[in-house]
A = this chain, B = another copy of it.
């Protein structure tokens, strides 16, 4: 048994640590979606989470866990999306400085949201090299701690709390959990937590065909980084990391890839039928449970589907 970056006890600790600052999000069902999927689905609504995404969980866990000395020097991260807001909010809760490197191209509403939590935004060129360089610079200058978006034990443990809640909310009736995979922070946390409380739980990852590093990595048996991703699911562009990959490799049964058309169609279906707003990255998991490949998997009567977030620019809808 390999030693992973985080274990079940870390997830349980995270659950206690973040409880005052994160919602226990509701679980929703839809008879329409059940019919289309051919089985019972329980949707874990992290779109209703604080800052509109599960990222709140990991960011709170990592930042609340910092020693007083480390916390006093603040935190740094680079993100164009939900992790930026989550770190900014968690830093505000802890009462410490947050330095957030964001691409110049990020929507002004996202920048405003981060600044609304009192964080300092550092605009950079919109590529990973520039982001990391500027984040490293901020760490050097301030002595602040870098809060990774996914490849960190406390982030992994924090995201894993989604599974602890979900499994309990549906009275341990789940056969499997499926969630979108990007850097693998959520997916690896779900694996650790779900397998920890139920060794028979089956884990599936959903991925855009336009950013299918997890599918290719699983097929190859070694981590293959994502290059030039191309998908509307802007939360799933990154490669896995050295902490998340081994957990995903050892626990995920299948990676289901879906097309852009399937993603947009699933997103619209959820808006129209479930009356809730999910972002494209969330729709990847919905598209996966509706596709033939997943419908053909046997033995899955009841599947938990993680709806990861609901932050969408209402002026730029994909239909």
* Interfacial residues of chain A within 102-150, with CB under 8 A of chain B in the complex: none
In the assembled complex, which residues on chain B have CB atoms less than 8 Å from the CB atom of A272? 314
Q: Confirm or deny: A275 has a beta carbon within 8 angstroms of a beta carbon on chain B.
A: yes
Considering only residues 266-313 of chain A, those with a C-beta below 8 Å from chain B are: 268, 271-272, 274-278, 310
Q: Does A26 contact B (CB under 8 A)?
A: yes
Complex Cα spacing A28 to B52, Å: 14
Confirm or deny: A315 has a beta carbon within 8 angstroms of a beta carbon on chain B.
Answer: yes
User: How far is A26 from B169 in the complex, measured between Cα atoms in Å?
Assistant: 15
Instruction: Give the shortest distance, in Å, between A269 (CB) and chain B (any CB).
Output: 11
Query: Which B residues lie within 8 Å of A319 (CB)?
Result: 314-315
Contact code string A14-28 (vs B, CB < 8 Å = 1, else 0): 000000000000101
Copy number in the complex reads 2
Across the interface, do A275 and B277 meet the contact criterion of CB distance under 8 Å? yes
**Cβ A314 vs Cβ B317 within 8 A:** yes
Q: Which residue of B lies closest to A309 (CB)?
A: B275
Q: Which residues of B are found within 8 Å of A314, using beta-carbon distances?
A: 268, 271-272, 317, 319
A218-244 interface with B by 8 A CB criterion: none
A154: CB under 8 A from chain B? Answer: no
Q: How far is the CB of A283 from the nearest CB of chain B, in Å?
A: 13
Chain B residues near A275 (CB-CB < 8 A): 47-48, 52, 276-278, 310
* Closest chain B residue, CB of each to CB of A310: B275
Q: How close is A89's CB to chain B, nearest CB, in angstroms?
A: 12
A276 to B268, CA, bound (A): 13
> Which has the most chain B C-beta neighbours within 10 Å: A28, A47, A52, A276?
A276
Residues in B with CB closer than 8 Å to A274 are 48
Q: What's the minimum C-beta distance from A265 to chain B, rounded to whole angstroms?
A: 12
Q: Smallest CB-CB separation from A274: which chain B residue?
A: B48
State the Cβ distance, A57 to closest chain B Cβ, in Å: 16
Known: A277-B277, A315-B319, A317-B317. 8 other contacts (CB 8 A): A26-B26, A48-B275, A272-B314, A275-B276, A275-B277, A275-B310, A276-B276, A314-B319
10 closest A-B pairs by beta carbon, nearest first, are A275-B310, A275-B277, A47-B275, A276-B276, A48-B275, A271-B277, A275-B276, A271-B314, A52-B275, A277-B277
